[in-house]
């Protein structure tokens, strides 16, 4: 192990050729990481980070991570970052950094708790989403200066802007952004799309359709719940002193209320099976992506084959691989939740249908009674017709929910099997990535080219 370098000129000039202005050389396919203590003080890093940041090791180690902070970054992002990682959560974020020589570089960072501190793994963002985020950041920086927004207020505005873009939460945004950047990176390297990310996207689309079907079910059931009241009004006109139709309409009303209570407990609200599916899909996608990028950090560290200041290479590799294994397990756990919840939804739909059978029987009884007393009460036929139409629509929605839930369960179980059998070399890029980097001349033993 060598002492930290104090002379930047001693570094390999082939790897440090840099433009005079603009963006620091950082290529698609390269990945770098840094590890800090709980205060954000840098403890270790790999060579790509040191090269891109353009600081000698003795200026990096022991320095606060904000040494590379760029003034174009809104404080909102760092408020969100620290808020999440101090709670033990992962965060993915676009970050613009400033290198030691004044150049800038954009990263998509995945930051995670790591032992008593934190680890940040970064890839080069190349998707169109980065430009939209850059514009949003500029707006937030201006608001922070002109309106005096606190970091927390600025973070709230950031979440509002993301919601306007269609992301209901930051968790949803970062899962989407992570997938976008990893797939865009593969495209930049002429690699095929990652099948697991595509599977996750299909699962997420199915989960969203489940959510939409839930809303349709809510609307249809609200319409259905009005019918017992109309039936009882008709019954009171038909049978002022009570009779068979009054009894049928009363029974229908009781069944409808019971079904409404069951519906509220199983379909509506944030704690239901329906609501947890999309969250679990996003979690699985993010956790699997974090694990894959950490494996790539390990591959990058192995490929560099150089001393990294005072860094213990074997110890850093163990940290990376242990952390990757942790997030692989979390991804499998999230997939298991998806399969389990999808199964619960299928069971709930079967129970819903069983309870709907009582309403169907009551509807048939109403139809028979209406035929027996034909013409005595106007509009009763219309009420029964609406009831029949509404029940058919509910059954159609339930069929769609069961179909999508079955597909989700099958996809989750397949992904679990693949995740359990995958080797580190097969995760996301593996050998194809190494071959692509070698062909592009982007390995760390080659000259870095300005971008």
Rounded average pLDDT per 10-residue block, the chain, 451 residues = 34 60 92 95 93 93 95 97 96 97 97 96 96 97 96 97 93 94 94 87 85 78 70 68 66 69 63 74 92 91 69 87 94 91 83 74 72 61 75 84 89 81 51 50 37 27
Q: What is the pLDDT of residue 195?
A: 84
Joined tokens for residue 228 = 């017992």
Task: State if pTM tops 0.85.
Answer: no
C-alpha span between 26 and 105 (Å, rounded): 7
Please say whether the beta carbons of 35 and 319 come within 8 A.
Answer: yes
Q: What is the pLDDT of residue 393?
A: 84
Element (H, E) at 263: helix 244-266
Q: What is the pLDDT of residue 346?
A: 86
C-alpha span between 25 and 101 (Å, rounded): 12
Nearest to 57 by CA among 11, 23, 16: 11
Q: What is the pLDDT of residue 214?
A: 76
C-alpha span between 85 and 90 (Å, rounded): 6
Q: What is the pLDDT of residue 435?
A: 52
As its CATH architecture, domain 14-191+436-451 has 2-Layer Sandwich (3.30)
C-alpha span between 169 and 176 (Å, rounded): 11
Sheet containing strand 104-114, edge to edge, reads 42-45, 31-36, 117-123, 104-114, 91-98
Q: What is the pLDDT of residue 129?
A: 96
Question: What is the phi/psi pair of residue 25, to 5°?
Answer: -65, 120
Joined tokens for residue 383 = 């009420």
Q: What is the pLDDT of residue 444?
A: 41
DSSP codes joined into one string, 160-223: HHHHHTT-SSHHHHHHHHHHHHHHHHHHHTT-PPPHHHHHHHHHHHHHHHHHHHHHHHHHHHHH
User: What is the residue extent of each domain of the chain?
Assistant: 14-191+436-451, 206-428
Q: What is the pLDDT of residue 361?
A: 73
C-alpha span between 181 and 177 (Å, rounded): 6
Q: What is the pLDDT of residue 263?
A: 64
Letter string b/e over residues 261-289, b meaning 16 or more CB atoms within 10 A of that residue's CB: eebeebbbeeebbbbbbbbbbbbbbbbbb
């Amino acid at each position: 192990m060598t002492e930290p370098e104090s002379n930047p000129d001693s570094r390999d000039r082939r790897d440090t050729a840099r433009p005079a202005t603009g963006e620091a050389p950082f290529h698609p396919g390269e990945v770098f990481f840094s590890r800090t203590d709980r205060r954000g003080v840098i403890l270790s890093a790999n060579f790509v980070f040191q090269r891109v940041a353009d600081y000698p090791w003795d200026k990096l180690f022991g320095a606060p991570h904000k040494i590379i902070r760029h003034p174009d970054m809104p404080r909102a992002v760092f408020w969100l970052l620290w808020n999440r990682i101090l709670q033990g959560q992962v965060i993915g974020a676009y970050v613009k950094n400033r290198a030691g020589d004044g150049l800038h570089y954009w990263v998509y960072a995945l930051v995670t708790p790591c032992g008593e501190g934190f680890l940040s793994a970064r890839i080069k963002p190349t998707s169109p989403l980065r430009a939209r985020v850059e514009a949003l950041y500029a707006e937030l920086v201006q608001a922070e200066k002109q309106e005096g927004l606190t970091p927390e207020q600025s973070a709230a505005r950031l979440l509002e802007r993301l919601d306007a873009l269609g992301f209901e939460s930051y968790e949803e945004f970062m899962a989407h952004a992570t997938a976008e950047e990893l797939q865009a990176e593969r495209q930049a390297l002429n690699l095929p799309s990652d099948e697991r990310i595509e599977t996750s996207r299909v699962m997420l689309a199915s989960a969203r359709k489940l959510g939409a079907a839930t809303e349709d079910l809510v609307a249809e059931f609200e319409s259905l719940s009005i019918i017992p009241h109309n039936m009882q009004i008709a019954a009171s006109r038909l049978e002022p002193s009570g009779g068979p139709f009054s009894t049928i309409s009363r029974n229908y009303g009781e069944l409808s209320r019971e079904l409404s209570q069951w519906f509220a407990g199983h379909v509506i609200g944030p704690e239901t099976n329906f609501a947890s599916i999309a969250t679990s899909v996003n979690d699985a996608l993010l956790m699997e992506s974090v694990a894959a990028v950490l494996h790539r950090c390990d591959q990058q560290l192995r490929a560099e084959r150089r001393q990294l200041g005072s860094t213990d290479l074997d110890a850093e590799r163990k940290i990376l691989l242990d952390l990757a294994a942790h997030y692989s397990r979390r991804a499998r756990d999230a997939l298991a939740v998806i399969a389990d919840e999808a199964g619960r939804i299928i069971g709930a739909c079967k129970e819903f249908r069983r309870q709907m059978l009582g309403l169907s029987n009551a509807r048939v009884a109403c139809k028979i009674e209406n035929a027996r007393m034909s013409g005595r009460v106007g509009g009763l036929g219309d009420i029964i017709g609406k009831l029949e139409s509404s029940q058919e629509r509910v059954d159609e929605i339930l069929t769609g929910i069961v179909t999508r839930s079955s597909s989700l369960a099958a996809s989750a179980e397949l992904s679990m099997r693949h995740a359990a059998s995958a080797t580190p070399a097969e995760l996301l890029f593996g050998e194809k990535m190494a071959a692509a980097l070698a062909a592009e001349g982007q390995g760390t033993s080659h000259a870095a080219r300005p971008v």
